[in-house]
Structures are given as C-alpha cells and as structure tokens.
Amino acid sequence: MAASALVNNELLTADSFKQMTTKAVLRNNKTTGYGLGLSLNNANGRPAIRHGGGINGFRSDLVYYPDTEHTIVVLANYERTNPAKISNSIAAVLFEK
C-alpha cells in the first residue's frame, strides 16, 4: 500500500516524508493546512493526511490517519461526486463517530 510505503520510508527518505507532511509557513508567518502536495488537517477528530483530485469526469480522495494507520481511498467516475465527503462518512463509521 502506498501510504504505508511512504510512512515506512520505502518510497522516500524520512526527511522527504517529513517535509511533505510539515505545514507550510507563509511570509506573514501564518501556518497553512498544506504540506508539499498534501492537505494536513483533522478529519473525524483525528489528524489526517489527505490528497484529492479530479480530471475529465473522475474524482478521487485518499486520506491517511497516522494515529491509527488507516487509509481510505474513494474513486468516482462521476464528476459531481464529493469523494472527501464519502471518505469522511466511511471514517465516521470506522471510528464510531
């Protein structure tokens, strides 16, 4: 699984993964909720590392919960789908929220 390969430094060095998952700091010293290509926030009351996207009728969301090591992936072939909403609903069941 890609998430565990990233976390276990099989795809990137530990330093590269740390850079990817460190929130960026703007010139005004405010911290963003974004690392290098990843959203770094909380979802369902837990820290979450997320990346979503879409192109030409397809939408996706991948969210990794580092505290429990769960990964949820939602792929949709309908562009009006909200995959993040679906993955949050799955996580709510998983974490009994």
10-residue averages of pLDDT along the chain (97 residues): 76 91 95 94 92 94 94 95 96 91
What pLDDT is recorded for position 2? Answer: 60
CA-to-CA distance for 86 and 73, rounded, in angstroms?
Answer: 9
CA-to-CA distance for 96 and 58, rounded, in angstroms?
Answer: 29
What pLDDT is recorded for position 84? Answer: 95
What pLDDT is recorded for position 80? Answer: 92
Amino acid at 56: N
**Are 69 and 1 a contacting pair, CB within 8 Å?**
no
Does the model's pTM come out above 0.75? yes
Give the total number of structural domains in the chain: 1
CA-to-CA distance for 34 and 44, rounded, in angstroms?
Answer: 18
What pLDDT is recorded for position 31? Answer: 94
What pLDDT is recorded for position 3? Answer: 72
